[in-house]
């Protein structure tokens, strides 16, 4: 079973509109972290936002916010007032801190959403 | 400037050859990681190292090898045993146990010709 699921392979959004990118996750570890990364066409991975499983409030970083619904195992990224420069691949990822079952350290990534902002 | 440097940016390899990808960091991070990315896919973990002289296999370690002789360096060798080595390779590092963010290098695009 996939640990990170991103159901939107691609999205077209008008400039200045808000965008919600979906992410659901699966883990049995009570302690985990959820990440969103942006990957422009140049290839580097740019960290956007982090949410810990015990954090009481949703994380926010400038125009980015994470809509964390723990019971639903959902961690959607919201980009407010989208800009042309937001066009990129967006990846949701998870790190399981207790690594139950002897799993590896490192991030588990979803397959990504290709976001295109139209003028 | 602190960061992670991967070299080269583009690499071409003939079938049957081993090739080594470089990853250097000056962030004083303990943990380092190698990921592979195929077109239209997310990243998959190849190897990771949490401390010098120690490393562990990730999800797709077959056909790859690593070393961690220095804290700053974590080179990845793609051996001839790797059946489908053409991919984009990303190196990352992270600070202490409770450190959250992983910092990534610019990546190396490997093509087998």
**B2 near A CB under 8 A:** no
> CA torsion angle for B27, A108, A39, A72 (degrees, to 10)?
-120
Q: Which residues of A touch B90 (CB under 8 A)?
A: 43, 45
Cβ atoms of A70 and A59 closer than 8 Å: no
Angle at A42 between CA A5 and CA B9, to 5 degrees: 110
Cβ atoms of B43 and A91 closer than 8 Å: yes
Is residue A49 very low, low, confident or very high in pLDDT (cuts 50, 70, 90)?
very high
pLDDT of A38-48, one tens digit each? 999 999 999 99
pLDDT of A70-110, one tens digit each? 999 999 999 999 999 999 999 999 998 865 555 667 899 99
Q: Which residues of B touch A109 (CB under 8 A)?
A: 35, 42-44
């Amino acid at each position: 079973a996939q640990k990170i699921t991103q159901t939107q392979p691609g999205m077209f959004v008008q400039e200045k509109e808000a965008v919600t990118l979906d992410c659901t996750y699966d883990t049995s570890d009570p302690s985990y972290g959820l990440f969103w990364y942006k990957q422009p066409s140049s290839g580097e991975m740019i960290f956007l936002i982090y949410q810990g499983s015990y954090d009481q409030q949703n994380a926010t970083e400038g125009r980015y916010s994470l809509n964390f619904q723990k019971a639903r195992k959902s961690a959607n990224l919201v980009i407010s007032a989208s800009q042309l420069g937001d066009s990129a691949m967006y990846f949701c990822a998870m790190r399981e801190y207790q690594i139950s079952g002897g799993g590896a350290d490192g991030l588990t990534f979803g397959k990504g959403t290709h976001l295109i902002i139209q003028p | 400037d602190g960061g992670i440097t991967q070299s080269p940016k583009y690499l071409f390899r003939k079938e049957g050859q081993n090739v080594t990808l470089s990853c250097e960091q000056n962030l004083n991070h303990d943990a380092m990681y190698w990921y592979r990315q195929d077109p239209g896919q997310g990243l998959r973990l190849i190897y990771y190292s949490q401390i010098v002289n120690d490393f562990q296999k990730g999800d797709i370690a077959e056909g790859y090898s690593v070393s961690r002789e220095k804290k700053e360096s974590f080179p990845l060798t793609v051996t001839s045993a790797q059946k489908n080595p053409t991919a984009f390779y990303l190196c990352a590092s992270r600070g202490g146990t409770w450190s959250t963010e992983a910092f990534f290098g610019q990546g190396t695009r490997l093509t087998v010709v």
